[in-house]
Amino acid sequence: MMVPPAKKQLFLIVALLALVAALALPARAGELPDKSRGQTIYVPAYTQVYYSAKGETFPLVTTLMVHNTDPATEIRLESVALYDTAGKLLRQQLPAPTSLAPFATLDFLAHGLAKAQGLGACFIVKWSARQPVNPPLLECLMIGTAGQQGISFRSQGRVIAEDDR
């Protein structure tokens, strides 16, 4: 049976993304992160991926997850902003600062992103705490399906600024 070229390309994309995810393993258990009183974090948010040399794209549903990893102290989300590939602010995802209890999680859906806004959107998240805490874990989950094909992967946030309070 002959496998259509588009399915082969999608399989190769999925395999490559799985390899990238495996190479980006988090810190080993037992290694504690440095405590912080606040940070600004950049999180890649892929809204689509190429699946052919013709520039055809596969749409993805993109969800940001913010996990408070501190067992005893709440954190405060100051802002969650969504930017397009060109770095243009699309919208604030958080209408007002919000507290996040220990071990609690909030999610934000990157809905309504048009193909013209590019593949490489991102979230910029600012958070703070009254005392030094374990920094939150920020992940973006991307999932797409078409017929019997599916793709899913994640990206993790990267600290771009420390709060020096």
Q: What is the mean pLDDT of the chain?
A: 84
Domain positions in the chain: 42-162
Amino acid symbol at 43: V
Q: pLDDT-derived band of residue 20, with 50, 70 and 90 as boundaries? A: very low
Name the pTM for this structure. 0.79
Output the CA angle 140-34-77, nearest 5 degrees: 45
Q: pLDDT per residue over 29-48, tens digit each?
A: 566 678 999 999 999 998 88
Count other C-beta atoms under 10 Å from residue 144's C-beta: 21
The CATH code of domain 42-162 reads: 2.60.290
The CA dihedral of 33, 35, 36, 42, to the nearest 10 degrees, is 10
Q: pLDDT per residue over 109-152, tens digit each?
A: 987 666 556 678 899 999 999 999 999 999 999 998 888 888 89
CA 164 and chain centroid, separation: 25
Output the CA angle 103-109-114, nearest 5 degrees: 155
Q: What is the pLDDT of residue 14?
A: 56
Can you tell me the distance from the alpha carbon of 64 to that of 41, in angstroms, rounded to the nearest whole number? 12
Can you tell me the distance from the alpha carbon of 135 to that of 37, in angstroms, rounded to the nearest whole number? 8
> Residue holding tokens 């920020």?
138
More confident residue, 96 or 145: 96
